[in-house]
Structure 1
Amino acid sequence: MPPLPTVLITGASSGIGATYAKRFARRGHDLVLVARDKARLEALAARLRAECKVAVDVLPADLTKSDDLSVIESHLRDDARIGILINNAGVPQSKGFLEQTAESIESLIALNTTALTRLAAAVAPRFVRSGTGAIVNIGSVVSFAPEFGMSIYGASKAFVLFLSQGLNVELAPKGVYVQAVLPAATRTEIWKKGGMDVNTLPEVMEVEELVDAALVGFDRRELVTIPPLHVAERWDALDDARQGLMSDLRQAHAAERYQRQT
């Protein structure tokens, strides 16, 4: 039996990323853990080596910094053991759109969209050459809920969903599986980083339950996994409506309702 693929996980020092690390280690996968907090990464790595008897490499990196991002890209391109990428690192939006600064906007987009895309682009050619591999992109239900008021964060997660769907169209025929995971409110440190108290929210999923559900979707090879969604047909109906809309958009002339009446 061939060895299990190594899993590279970004944002692995806590929350969703750390839980993915624990779950894959229990399955027998070796790991590469990426995050800014070296001490927490080392502590998690030591625990997983001892408990699960797997190899765990630690790569401290700030993915908003070009030099650090380039190091992880090179690792994904060159390390043939890595067969699964978990694109989990992300940052929340603190306060409303009118209160954002140029720096906060740039940092959010750099981590939530640019880094995620570049890491997927770094590993995808090698996956295609081998005809196997998986890319998991962590999005959010906010990606289709502008009413939640997190405009920049939601837009970045809408990008993640669209990118994942587009990559599936391109890469699935070549043997590469792409999954978008869309959590709702989940009990992680991201809320504190965004200046919010998670305990004020009415319904919050525990991170272990979120990741376990996401892995059920992963094992089923779902393209979009929405752990809090009870009625799967509602997502199917939304996607069917979107695809049905496409036939109405392939027109050579403006719709009659937009043509001036003379």
Structure 2
Amino acid sequence: MSTTALVTGASSGIGAVYADRLARRGHDLVLAARDVSRLDALAARLRREAGVAVETIRADLTAPADLEPVEERLRGDARIGLLVNNAGAALPGGFLDQGAEQMGNLIALNATAPTRLAAAVAPRFAAAGTGAIINVASVVGFAPELGMSVYGATKAFVLFLSQGLHLELGPKGVYVQAVLPSATRTEIWEKAGRDVDALPAAMDTGELVDAALVGFDRRETVTIPPLPEAGQWAAYDAARQAMLPNLIQAHAAPRYRAA
């Protein structure tokens, strides 16, 4: 029997496609987003086409009053065995163009909300010895050269969080996957004041989610759908791990000592 999946940011884009694909895999759904009309329309279609039960929750995850009921649902509903932390946004302009309130809201949505939702469900998953968390990050999270400093920092946080949770929760039977899209054809670009058609390349949301679910089925920790050579990520991660024995030292490295 398939478990219920809770998907955030489900009214459009990547989240809506995740809802569609998971419904077609037989999962009942709890869908959370701000746009109730679009959410309800999606829910009605999936009930009709996939024959699954679909509930909707109107939630602005930057608002604690909206975030808390979603946390409570994750803590208390034993049917939910999959959390898809997808909700996210970007900001227009560069760092100097972005106000403190804008940045704070972005961090609340992209970093704080997925952390709190994962924290709400992880104890129950760990106690049961099963469950999965999908965190949608971004390749921007390890590519500051792409010039989206605050957005990229939030996605670096999500990547690190996912890798850390993999190490902590994996031995307890909980699977954690970080999905790192590159530019994808969603409304995030228009809302950030950028023309997606002006980008060098942009992936269709369906192709992105289908690839991410291949990684999910393979139980990858980090899934990067646009990356042709898996060995490049393996080498990147191996280089990082090779530094670890050298990072804990009682003294500064010789290259930093005064002559």
TM range (shorter): over 0.9
Structure 2 residue matching 1:184: 3-state secondary structure:
coil
1-structure distance, mates of 2:105, 2:191: 13
- Is 1:123 aligned with 2:121? yes
Deviation >3 Å, runs of 4+: none
1-structure distance, mates of 2:210, 2:189: 21
Structure 2 residue matching 1:227: 3-state secondary structure:
coil
**1:19-98 pair list within 5 angstroms:** 19-98=17-96
Q: Name the structure 1 match of 2:155.
A: 157
1-structure distance, mates of 2:157, 2:256: 29
Q: Name the structure 2 match of 1:246.
A: 244
* TM-fit CA distance, 1:62: 0.3
2-structure distance, mates of 1:119, 1:187: 26
* TM-fit CA distance, 1:260: 1.0
Per-residue CA shift, 1:124-145, capped at 9, x if unaligned? 0000111000000000000111
Per-residue CA shift, 1:199-238, capped at 9, x if unaligned? 1112111000000000000000000000000000000000
2-structure distance, mates of 1:56, 1:232: 36
1-structure distance, mates of 2:227, 2:178: 14
Per-residue CA shift, 1:161-212, capped at 9, x if unaligned? 0000000010000000000000000001110111111011121110000000
2-structure distance, mates of 1:173, 1:126: 14
One-letter code of the match for 2:95?
F
Structure 1 residue matching 2:92: 3-state secondary structure:
coil
* TM-fit CA distance, 1:93: 2.1
Structure 2 residue matching 1:183: 3-state secondary structure:
coil
Q: Name the structure 1 match of 2:104.
A: 106
Q: Name the structure 1 match of 2:225.
A: 227
Please, which runs of 5 or more residues in structure 1 have no aligned partner?
A: none
1-structure distance, mates of 2:147, 2:202: 18
One-letter code of the match for 1:62?
D
2-structure distance, mates of 1:94, 1:139: 18
Q: Name the structure 2 match of 1:215.
A: 213
1-structure distance, mates of 2:173, 2:91: 35
1-structure distance, mates of 2:228, 2:121: 33
* TM-fit CA distance, 1:243: 0.2
* TM-fit CA distance, 1:247: 1.3
How many residue pairs are counted as aligned between the two chains?
Answer: 259
- Identical aligned pairs, as a percentage? 67
1-structure distance, mates of 2:117, 2:201: 32
**1:183-194 pair list within 5 angstroms:** 183-194=181-192
Please, which runs of 5 or more residues in structure 2 have no aligned partner?
A: none
Q: What's the TM-score, normalizing by structure 1?
A: 0.98
